[in-house]
């Protein structure tokens, strides 16, 4: 669906140049008091809402995304407002975000390079709280990235496949679409500090400078997405019953 022109323009101002399409980076998307409020809400969630993984812990809101579709659950009010705010920028092609993943990373934790896959395609948006991080982008292993690959062997180590990073400052909004979503993998190294090098593609939009070394604190990210395929609970029950009969 076409986004209204004015809304695209609102995000367009924040387009990161010199990276594959498309990255929007909005520093200070929320205020410090909104950040404090959101962190308070994240940590006020009941303990069973957290899932502990090896390198991070997470909360899932809005329903469990699944290849067959997601049975939607109402987002809590403290997330709904931000889902609406980001959707109103046209980030989801006129659709309303219906799913939020909350990740908490202590210094030294991260997330392995991965693709978000087809469930949320084509947009992922992230609000960062509490600390910065570096989001690293990698060429996939199997596909060579040079047309003249006879002369240039396909890089294989993770370091060789890493081709750019984005600095995500606390209170910023990141919007990833198109190639940056589908062609490349993204991840966060399990590090306690980050060097700001020329590989950080959005440094001009940040308050950090080349050569800085930033010490990580605890970071909470809100990954706000639109899961297009919603199914009703009645539908899942019917599928389940049919499945049981086979």
Ligand X SMILES: O=C(O)CCC(=O)C(=O)O
Least CB distance to ligand X at residue 147 (A): 29
In the complex with Fe ion, the residue whose CB is nearer, 21 or 235, is 21
3-state secondary structure of 224: strand
Site for ligand X in 208-227 (CB under 6 A): 221, 223
Decide whether 149 or 193 has the Cβ nearer to ligand X. Answer: 193
Q: Half-sphere exposure of residue 150, counting CA atoms within 13 Å on the CB side?
A: 0
Cβ-Cβ contacts under 8 Å for 190 (sequence gap 6 or more):
55, 108, 109, 110
- Kindly tell me which of 98 and 126 has the beta carbon lying closer to ligand X: 126
> Taking CB within 5 to 8 Å according to partner kind, which of ligand X, Fe ion, none is near residue 201?
none
Give the nearest distance from C-beta 124 to ligand X in angstroms: 7
**Phi and psi torsions of 238, nearest 5°:** -60, -45
Rule CB under 6 A: say whether 123 interacts with ligand X: no
CB of 134 to Fe ion, least distance (A): 14
Judged by the rule CB under 5 A, the positions of this chain that interact with Fe ion are 116
Nearest residue to ligand X on Cβ basis: 221
Q: Does 194 bind ligand X (CB under 6 A)?
A: no
Task: Please tell me whether residue 103 binds ligand X under the rule CB under 6 A.
Answer: yes
CB nearer to ligand X: pick between 87 and 109: 109
In DSSP terms, 166 is beta-bridged to: 135
Nearer to Fe ion, 6 or 67 (CB): 67
Q: Please, is 94 exposed, middle or buried when counting C-beta atoms within 10 Å of its C-beta (0-12, 13-18, 19+)?
A: middle
Contact between 116 and ligand X per CB under 6 A: yes
Q: Is 169 in the site for ligand X (CB under 6 A)?
A: no
The two structure tokens encoding residue 49: 């809402």
Site for ligand X in 18-77 (CB under 6 A): none
CB 133 within 8 A of CB 188: yes
DSSP letter at 153? P
Tell me: does residue 101 bind ligand X (CB under 6 A): yes
Cα angle 67, 69, 70 (rounded to 5 degrees) comes to 120
Q: Is 234 helix (H, G, I), strand (E, B) or coil?
A: helix
End-to-end CA distance of the chain: give it in Å, rounded.
39
Q: By CB under 6 A, is residue 165 in contact with ligand X?
A: no
Nearest to 162 by CA among 119, 124, 195: 195
Q: Min. distance of Cβ 121 from ligand X in angstroms? A: 13
Query: In whole angstroms, what is the distance from residue 114 CA to residue 95 CA?
Result: 25
- Which residues contribute to the site for ligand X (CB under 6 A)? 101, 103, 111, 116, 126, 135, 186, 221, 223
């Amino acid at each position: 669906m076409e986004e209204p022109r004015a809304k695209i323009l609102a995000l367009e101002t924040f387009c990161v140049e010199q990276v594959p399409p498309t990255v929007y980076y909005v520093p200070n998307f929320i205020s410090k008091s909104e950040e404090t409020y959101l962190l308070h809400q994240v940590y006020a969630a009941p303990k069973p809402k957290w899932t502990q993984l090896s390198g991070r812990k997470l909360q899932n809101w809005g329903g469990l995304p699944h290849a067959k579709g997601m049975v939607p659950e109402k987002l809590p009010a403290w997330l709904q407002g931000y889902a609406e705010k980001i959707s109103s920028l046209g980030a989801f092609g006129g659709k309303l975000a219906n799913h939020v993943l909350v990740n908490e990373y202590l210094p030294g934790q991260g997330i392995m390079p991965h693709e978000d896959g087809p469930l949320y395609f084509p947009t992922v948006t992230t609000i960062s709280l509490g600390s910065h991080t570096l989001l690293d982008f990698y060429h996939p292993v199997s596909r060579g990235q040079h047309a003249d690959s006879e002369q240039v062997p396909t890089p294989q180590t993770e370091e060789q496949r890493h081709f750019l990073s984005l600095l995500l400052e606390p209170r910023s909004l990141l919007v990833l679409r198109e190639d940056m979503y589908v062609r490349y993998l993204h991840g966060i190294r399990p590090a306690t500090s980050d060097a700001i090098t020329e590989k950080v593609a959005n440094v001009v939009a940040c308050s950090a400078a080349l050569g800085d070394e930033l010490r990580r604190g605890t970071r909470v990210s809100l990954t706000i997405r639109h899961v297009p395929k919603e199914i009703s609970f009645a539908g899942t029950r019917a599928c389940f019953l049919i499945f049981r009969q086979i």
